[in-house]
């Protein structure tokens, strides 16, 4: 985990914004790793964040492969719809932060705003693919810290 992640999430926590993780984990459906590993990784992540006094309100993951045609695999909105119901969120006032084009599509599909971070796959996505994307991110951030800055500015 990048060192600035906990501080960025903590600032969102302090502003009273729910922070929720939605992740595709098709490695489960493909049999690459057991579902229990997803839980172990989530626990480690939660633990590390709590050491930085940051809190994740919920984690949703899709264990399916694209062939299973579920309604939760990003960029489908199943996980966001569930998060919206369970945490009383207005998706139109929510932000999707991610490093893949699928996250930009997800935001569009859910009528949320999208932020693409340059960390992870983001830089490569921008360099090699962004020119042909039919949907562009609402904001491109260097990292999660800058994404949090932008969210907090929009939220005011
Ligand atoms: Zn799924």
Q: What letters, b where the CB count within 10 A reaches 16 and e where it falls short, cover 81-103?
A: ebbbeeeebebeebbbbbbbbbb
Please tell me the distance between residue 49's alpha carbon and the centre of ligand 1 in angstroms.
Answer: 26
Please tell me the distance between residue 62's alpha carbon and the centre of ligand 1 in angstroms.
Answer: 4
Please tell me the distance between residue 38's alpha carbon and the centre of ligand 1 in angstroms.
Answer: 14
**How many Å apart are CA 139 and CA 104, to the nearest integer?**
10
pLDDT bin (cut points 50, 70, 90) of residue 2 is confident
Please tell me the distance between residue 72's alpha carbon and the centre of ligand 1 in angstroms.
Answer: 4
Residues with CB under 5 A from ligand 1 (ion): 62, 64, 70, 72-73
Strands in 113-117's sheet, in edge-to-edge order, are 95-98, 113-117, 139-141
Q: State the chain's mean pLDDT as an integer.
A: 96
Domain of residue 25 covers 5-155
Any idea which residue has 């090699």 for tokens? 128
Tell me, what's the pLDDT at 143? 97
Convert the pLDDT of each residue in 69-113 to its tens digit.
999 999 999 999 999 999 999 999 999 999 999 999 999 999 999
* Whole-structure pTM value: 0.95
Please tell me the distance between residue 24's alpha carbon and the centre of ligand 1 in angstroms.
Answer: 8
Specify the number of domains making up the chain.
1
Please tell me the distance between residue 25's alpha carbon and the centre of ligand 1 in angstroms.
Answer: 9
Q: Are 117 and 87 in contact (CB under 8 A)?
A: no
Q: What is the CATH number of the domain that holds 11?
A: 3.40.50.1000
Please tell me the distance between residue 121's alpha carbon and the centre of ligand 1 in angstroms.
Answer: 21
Handedness of CA 107, 112, 117, 120 (dihedral sign): negative
Convert the pLDDT of each residue in 37-48 to its tens digit.
999 999 999 999
């Amino acid at each position: 985990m990048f060192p600035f992640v906990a501080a960025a999430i903590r600032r969102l926590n302090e502003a009273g914004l729910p922070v929720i993780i939605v992740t595709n984990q098709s490695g489960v459906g493909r049999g690459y790793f057991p579902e229990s590993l997803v839980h172990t990784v989530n626990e480690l992540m939660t633990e590390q964040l709590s050491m930085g006094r940051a809190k994740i309100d919920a984690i949703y993951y899709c264990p399916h492969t694209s062939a299973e045609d579920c309604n939760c695999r990003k960029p489908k909105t199943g996980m966001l719809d569930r998060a919206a119901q369970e945490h009383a969120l207005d998706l139109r006032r929510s932000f999707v932060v991610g490093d893949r084009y699928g996250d930009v599509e997800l935001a569009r599909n859910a009528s949320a705003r999208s932020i693409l971070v340059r960390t992870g796959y983001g830089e490569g996505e921008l360099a090699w693919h962004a020119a042909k994307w039919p949907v562009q991110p609402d904001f491109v951030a260097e990292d999660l810290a800058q994404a949090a800055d932008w969210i907090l500015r929009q939220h005011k």
